[in-house]
Amino acid sequence: AADCFERGLLTGCRVLITAGPTQESIDPVRYITNHSSGKMGFALAEAAAEAGAVVTLVSGPVHLPTPQRVTRVNVVSARDMLAACEAAMPCDLLIAAAAVADYRPEVIATQKMKKDPGSDDGLQLRMVRNPDILATLAARADRPFSVGFAAETEKLLDYAARKLRDKNLDLIVANDVANPGIGFNSEDNAITIIDRQLTQNSFAQTSKGKIARQLIAFIAARLHQS
């Protein structure tokens, strides 16, 4: 419950949080993005700051106010987000709540792209992989206690456990984005946290603010045990 949240749980702890979508440019007027609102990451930043942490929030383009006592760094693309996170290292705790674009257009056209006047064909856009921000930071020698999110529409716990292992995380927060009441762009969330022993802890559906406080209390307890 929210009242299990205590002030001072993360006093002096340096916390890095990623939030929101990334935008990957196609040309000067077009981009590829996703439906992430940034609400969960911002709620986590607020809860971590209330718990006494020194918080850096690296955010993609969102329409949200910066929480009190949080240092916010605005970025646009996945590559910008990685650079901003690397600049904010070292830290004690990383929470990757951003919905990072997995691919970006191979080239960004310098001028607005024009339709081919000679044909009615569709457009083929070549995409290349973006860096994995969370996996990159969790692989460093000075790796923080690393918490990821797994947004899935099917096989939620299987896929989440696989990401925990593949990215060398301490915890992963599994998030069912197929359920319209929770996850992407909604006010509420319901989550299951999986640890390295594959033990599951679930938090029932409630506001993202309450889930954030529960998550920060849970993560702080595990961080102090590690």
Annotated binding site: 102, 112, 131-134, 149, 163, 167
Nearer to Ca ion, 13 or 151 (CB): 151
Work out which of 31, 149, 184, 218 binds ligand CTP, going by CB under 6 A: 149
Stretch that binds ligand CTP, among 61-69, 96-104, 113-121, 217-225 (CB under 6 A): 96-104
Nearer to Ca ion, 54 or 101 (CB): 101
Could you tell me the two tokens for 193? Answer: 């946290």
* CB neighbours of residue 225 within 10 Å: 6
Binding mask 53-92 for ligand CTP (x = CB under 6 A): -------------------------x--------------
List the interface residues with ligand CTP, window 183-202 (CB under 6 A).
none
Give CA–CA dist 194/9, Å, rounded.
Answer: 21
**Measured at the alpha carbon of residue 36, what is the angle toward residues 9 and 100, in degrees to the nearest 5?**
85
Instruction: Give first-to-last CA distance, the chain, whole Å.
Output: 23
Find which of Ca ion, ligand CTP, none residue 16 binds, CB within 5 to 8 Å per kind: none
Give CA–CA dist 92/9, Å, rounded.
Answer: 13
> Is 45 within 8 Å of 19 (Cβ atoms)?
yes
Whole-number minimum distance, CB 161 to Ca ion, in Å?
A: 16
> Is 21 within 8 Å of 34 (Cβ atoms)?
yes
Could you tell me the two tokens for 4? Answer: 């299990």
Work out which of 15, 84, 134, 217 binds ligand CTP, going by CB under 6 A: 134
Q: Which of 191, 29, 171, 180 is nearest to 113 (CA)?
A: 29
102 binds ligand CTP (CB under 6 A): yes
Stretch that binds Ca ion, among 18-26, 57-65, 102-110, 161-169 (CB under 5 A): 102-110
Catalytic positions, written as ranges: 34
